[in-house]
Amino acid sequence: QVQLVESGGGVVQPGRSLRLSCAASGFAFSTYSFHWVRQAPGQGLEWVAFVSSDGTLKHYRESVKGRFTISRDNFKKTVSLQISGLRREDTALYYCVREGNYHQPGFDYWGQGTLIAVSS
Amino acid sequence: DIQMTQSPSYVSASVGDRVTISCRASQGISSWLAWYQQKPGRAPTLLIYSASTLQSGVPSRFSGSGSGTDFTLTISSLQPEDFATYYCQQSNSFPFTFGQGTKLEIK
């Protein structure tokens, strides 16, 4: 069965760095695009970043450009989000999300999330 | 960026009721619209994609309609397990954006 398992979250001081990882299993990893979506405590969903199936295309929301870097390893079946210059407003639960194929778009599988709390 | 606006933000309804949630895009997105359900403490789940296509395994009481800028999620007969928060999301162009959410509460 499809599984996405995030890790790497924690409590971190403003300005520090963190690397989130998402381990995938149960499907043909290299044929799917992935996203990171975050949710601040008690708030709605916010799209963060995208990486295409072959890793060549990447997109970010404006507020994280230059600080967040999404990447993937199709051999290890992992997606990563390198975060630097953390800000208090980055505090959120970060979900790794699979995007369905062209004929079935939409975020069809979500991980359980990993929490980042930015605090001094 | 394309803004997605849901209405209402809160709706109170009873089991068996028909409920409609609206989502409006700030510019045309064709049918690049998905709906998600999120229950407390859980990750969202995909209900509908391409505005009106039911995701596999989703009960048929859920339906979606619309194209362009105006979209609707309808639950034909509310069941106890449907009380949750619902989000629309556009994937027409980056940055992908979500509506602010509609919380469906038990009356």
A56-88 tens-digit pLDDT? 999 999 999 999 999 999 999 999 999 999 999
Point out the least confidently predicted range of A22-31, A98-107, B37-46, B74-83.
A98-107
Mean of pLDDT values over A36-58: 97
CB contact under 8 A, B43 and A110: yes
User: Which tokens belong to A33?
Assistant: 């695009």
Determine the Cα–Cα distance for residues B42 and A35; give it in Å rounded to an integer.
Answer: 18
Per-residue pLDDT reduced to its tens digit, B4-53: 999 999 999 999 999 999 999 999 999 999 999 999 999 999 999 999 99
> What residues of chain A have any CB closer than 8 angstroms to a CB in chain B?
35, 44-47, 50, 59-62, 95, 99-100, 104-108, 110-113
Contact residues for A60 (Cβ-Cβ < 8 A; gap 6+):
A48, A49, A50, A68, A70, B95
- Rounded percentage of chain B residues whose pLDDT exceeds 90: 98
Which residues of A are less than 8 Å from B44 in CB distance? 45, 95, 107, 110
Q: What share of chain A in percent tops pLDDT 90?
A: 96
Tell me which residue in B38, B46, B96 faces A108 most closely, judged by beta carbons.
B46
